[in-house]
Every structure is written in C-alpha cells, then in structure tokens.
Amino acid sequence: MKLVTAIIQPEKLDEVREALIAAEITRITVSRVTGHGRQEGESIYRGQKVVPNLIPKVRLDIACNDEYVDITVKTIIKTAKTGKIGDGKIFITPLERCIRIRTEETGGQAI
Ligand SMILES: Nc1ncnc2c1ncn2[C@@H]1O[C@H](COP(=O)(O)OP(=O)(O)OP(=O)(O)O)[C@@H](O)[C@H]1O
Ligand SMILES: [Mg+2]
C-alpha cells in the first residue's frame, strides 16, 4: 500500500477529482493548505533573505494498493499540469497499515 500525497493548484481540484473518479480512484481526502516551493528569481532584498509568502494550495491524500499508484500519479499529472511554475508536487510514501473502522478489516482489503 502507498500513500499518494499531491499538492496542486486549487483551480485544478475539480478537474483532477473528476479524472480520478473516471479512473476508478474514488477515495480521497482533500485539504486546503498553504505552502511555498523553491524560490523563483531573486530571494534577496536589500541584503536580506526574503521569507516567501504562503500560497493557497490543495492537498490530496490518496491511500491505494500498489497496483493503483501509477494510474493515480498519471491522472494527477495529466490534469494538474500546466507547465508553469507552481503546478505542484506528488509525494509517494509506503503505507504500513490501514484499518476500516466499521468492519475492522485491515490492509489492502480495507483500502
Ligand atoms: N519539498 C517540499 N516539501 C513540502 N512541500 C513542498 C515541497 N515542494 C513543494 N511543496 C508544496 O507544493 C506546493 C507547490 O510547489 P511548487 O509547484 O511551487 O514546487 P517547486 O519545487 O517550486 O516547482 P516549480 O518550479 O514548478 O514551481 C508548495 O506551495 C508547497 O506547498
Ligand atoms: Mg514553485
């Protein structure tokens, strides 16, 4: 199991979600977050390092079985990418355990 975490532009949320559902990725957590990536251009002003502004982004968390990781990543890239800076990022981390509270099923069954 993996946890696919994507940070995307808020205006891409609906399009990304629609495409994920069309690809049968139907379970998702969406959070409104802020952040900044690497600094574009000059980050020194009058000899001081400038602290970048926090920019609103949307965070998607999708826990899935290993065989769904590629389609999840591909779908997010296809819909969230504009080619401009700030398109976002995808992080993939191993997921150790998952438990469905209602049934107490665990692992891939519970996802
Ligand atoms: N290394 C990181 N760790 C945690 N969050 C990150 C990291 N890189 C990016 N983010 C998050 O993703 C958002 C979008 O990042 P962004 O797309 O600007 O990345 P970037 O590395 O600056 O690439 P680009 O050059 O395309 O702008 C940031 O606002 C931040 O919330
Ligand atoms: Mg950036």
Q: What is the pTM of this model?
A: 0.94
Helices (H) and strands (E) in the chain, counts: 2, 6
Contact in structure between 34 and 56 (CB atoms under 8 Å): yes
Which pLDDT score is estimated for 44?
A: 75
Residue with CA nearest ligand 1 atom 16? 86
Pairing outcome for strands 48-49 and 44-45: antiparallel
> pLDDT for 17-76, tens place per residue?
999 999 999 999 999 999 999 876 667 778 888 889 999 999 999 999 999 999 999 999
Ligand 1 center to 53 CA (angstroms): 13
**H or E stretch covering 22:** helix 13-22
Query: Which amino acid residue places its CA nearest to atom 31 of ligand 1?
Result: 35
Tell which one of 7, 34, 61 to mutate to probe ligand 1, the residue whose CB is within 8 A of the most ligand atoms: 7
Residue 92 phi, psi (nearest 5): -120, 120
* Domain ranges, ordered by start, for the chain: 2-37+53-94
> Could you tell me which CATH class the domain 2-37+53-94 is placed in?
alpha beta
Average pLDDT (79-95) is: 97
